[in-house]
Amino acid sequence: MKAKVAVLISGTGTNMAALLYAAKADGCPYEIVLVASNNPDAPGLTLAATEGIATWARAHKGMNRDAFDALVDERLREAGADYVALAGYMRILSDGFVAAWQGRMLNIHPSLLPLYKGLDTHQKAIDAGDKFGGCSVHIVTPTLDDGPVLAQTPVAILPGDTADSLAARVLIAEHQLYPPTLAAFVTRERSPDWLLGRARALAMALPEADEVTSHGMPCFGIVKGKKFAYFTHDHHGDGRTALLVKISGADEQAQLIEMDAERYYRPAYFGDGWVGIRLDLGDTDWDAIADWLRKSWLAVAPKKLAGLMGAAEEF
Ligand code: GRF
């Protein structure tokens, strides 16, 4: 299943077009499900609509930031977006919106970050006598043009370059940089190594946790004690990447599977005391996984140790 991406634009939308055309290539791991704008006249909207992509636009004038962003958020969710790609979206986002899409929203910025956040990036690079301008794709965090940089392309500054002539070349570099960076970003969340790294970090953060290999699977237990989680990838060729955690028994297992048969399953050879939780569906709620691990840990932890967690009464 392809990752569903919504693109937010305010203007020409050439980066959006680059993302959209790249999405047409065989094997591209994402598809564009919505192009949305705070500017109903953004030329990019026509291009997207002509390509058969759903569009939505609404002028933000007269609306406060939170209300407008809530509206955008609603549209993104309706469109089933897993990720948001900002592409020349000239509007500061509310903290609530950024939090709602934390770790799932990227931006492209026309400078070699951390240099020159904000506007007039090309003039600033020229005025500083830099040898290179360039562009960066980064994860969006509450501070403007700040979050972790995923990829950058330097673009040499020519003698006599103006902000416009440099901007034109940087834009070409942007179009080359954004699609593969987005593709890699949505892919990594489904890659077994990345999923194991994330599950491991949560499991190993629990008191006295350690990792061994059991039946060929990374397995987490309490030092010299019982196991509370297994990470499985394509075990016996089942094609799943999942975490196995302890549950109370057959009833809970059946309930979970009934509630969400795609995500939960009965792990072969483990019996009723465990449930498999798929990690490879692309929409894993990692806070929920942390809770599952904590509960599973509590289920096997000796009383003394469980008391340390201060949450033993939950059981
Ligand atoms: C690009 O330079 C991008 O880096 C910046 O805004 C510009 C958008 O251009 N954030 P376009 O609308 O994608 O053509």
| Tens of pLDDT, residues 133-186 | 999 999 999 888 898 999 999 999 999 999 999 999 999 999 999 999 999 999
Residue 108 corresponds to which tokens in the numbers above? 């492209």
d(CA 162, CA 126): 8
d(CA 20, CA 278): 29
Ligand 1 atom closest to 10 (CA): 12
233 is catalytic: no
Distances in whole angstroms, Cα of residue 92 to Cα of each of 50, 86, 144, 157, 159: 28, 11, 8, 29, 34
| pTM recorded for the entire structure | 0.80
**Rounded to the nearest whole angstrom, what is the distance from the C-alpha of residue 15 to the centroid of ligand 1?**
6
Q: Whose CA is closest to atom 2 on ligand 1?
A: 110
Query: Which of 161, 147, 156, 153 lies closest to 117 in space, CA to CA?
Result: 147
Asked whether the beta carbons of 16 and 57 are under 8 A apart, the reply is no
SS (H, E, C) 173-193: HHHHHHHHHHHHHHHHCCCHH
* Catalytic-labelled residue, pool 109, 175, 233, 235: 109
**C-beta 175 within 6 A of ligand 1:** no
The per-residue pLDDT string of the chain (315 residues; one tens digit each, 9 = 90 and over) reads: 899 999 999 999 999 999 999 999 999 999 999 999 999 999 999 999 999 999 999 998 888 999 999 999 999 999 999 999 999 999 999 999 999 998 899 999 999 999 999 999 999 999 999 999 999 999 999 888 898 999 999 999 999 999 999 999 999 999 999 999 999 999 988 889 999 999 999 999 999 999 999 988 999 999 999 999 999 999 888 899 999 999 999 999 999 999 999 999 999 889 899 999 999 887 788 999 999 999 999 999 998 888 877 654 454
In sequence order, the 6+-apart residues with CB closer than 8 A to the CB of 40 are 57, 58, 59
Q: Which of 10, 92, 171 to mutate to test the pocket of ligand 1 (most atoms within 8 A of CB)?
A: 171
Report DSSP state, residue 2: P
Q: Output the CA torsion 135→141→144→145 (10° steps).
A: -10
- State the distance between the two ends of the chain, measured CA to CA, in whole angstroms: 37
**C-beta 110 within 6 A of ligand 1:** yes
**Rounded to the nearest whole angstrom, what is the distance from the C-alpha of residue 175 to the centroid of ligand 1?**
9
Domains of the chain: 3-190 (3.40.50.170), 192-313 (3.90.1150.30)
**C-beta 76 within 6 A of ligand 1:** no
Ligand 1 atom closest to 87 (CA): 13
Query: Which of 189, 186, 166, 167 lies closest to 178 in space, CA to CA?
Result: 186
Q: Which of 7, 8, 12, 15 to mutate to test the pocket of ligand 1 (most atoms within 8 A of CB)?
A: 15
